[in-house]
Amino acid sequence: MEAPHKVVQKSIAHFDMEQIANSGQCFRIRSVASDVWEVPAFGRRLVVRRTSEWAWEFDCNECEFQEIWSNYFDLQTDYGAVKNAITSSGDEYLRNAVRYGWGIRILRQDPWEMTVSFIISQQNNIPRIRSTIARLCEPFGGAFPSPAELAGYTEANFVALGLGYRAKYVVDVVRAVLDGRLDFHKLTAMGTPDAIATLRQFNGIGVKVASCIALFGLHKIDAFPVDVWIKKIIDERYGGTFPLDHFAGYAGIVQQYMYFYQRALEKRMVPVR
């Protein structure tokens, strides 16, 4: 007899799926209904439902939740303490950013997927990134393809999927993983500056993309990617220099609050302050 389907119900502070899905760190989480999200990761698909402001239902059993999803959603990190540290700095802009993006967490995603995703992301917009990655995954049942599964792809194959000039960079990084030049286990063991410097040795990976891979793929939360949004904030609100030393050890979390809040300001989703 087939085992009955089970769900896990959790009350989680500092956690909001909608904010996480729209924070620029992931490109395959999607909203499938009101307060319902589908989360594809590690060859699985998790359905997450909001049942109240703080309560969530996860479409898995408790064992799977503890073995996979608790870590994936970074539930071991005390985001309340991080928020308190940020807001105690007295920075009004960051205080508003933390308040607005209260439910963001840095996901612990697959570094291979993040490497390809952020190569695709350069000089690109989020809807196009999402659609390109969806086309890349389609022949593999919607799962993100491994380096071995992409070994036979040529630059022309990737161009046909919409990667444009980025196609040659993905071909190079597939080969680098397969021949051992790009080793994610070694990158994980490195300090953040060394990991970023190592990633930058590969074609198509500049400092911003390397920093995104470090933050979102290697979970080095002291990495601080600077894209056009963050540069605008730094230039307009901080006179061109952001005080990173004030947020040592968790600057990447600060970056996510800034990114999420600034995009909302630009879209007039919150009052301009």
Catalytic residues: 208
The rounded distance, in Å, linking the Cα atoms of 125 and 24 is 10
H helix or E strand, kind and range, residue 269: none
The rounded distance, in Å, linking the Cα atoms of 268 and 270 is 5
The rounded distance, in Å, linking the Cα atoms of 196 and 206 is 9
3-state secondary structure of 41: strand
The rounded distance, in Å, linking the Cα atoms of 255 and 264 is 14
Length of the chain: 273
181 DSSP assignment:
S
Question: For residue 217, how many C-alpha atoms fall within 13 Å in the half-sphere facing its CB?
Answer: 26
Residue 49 phi/psi, 5-degree rounding, is -120, 135
The rounded distance, in Å, linking the Cα atoms of 75 and 116 is 25
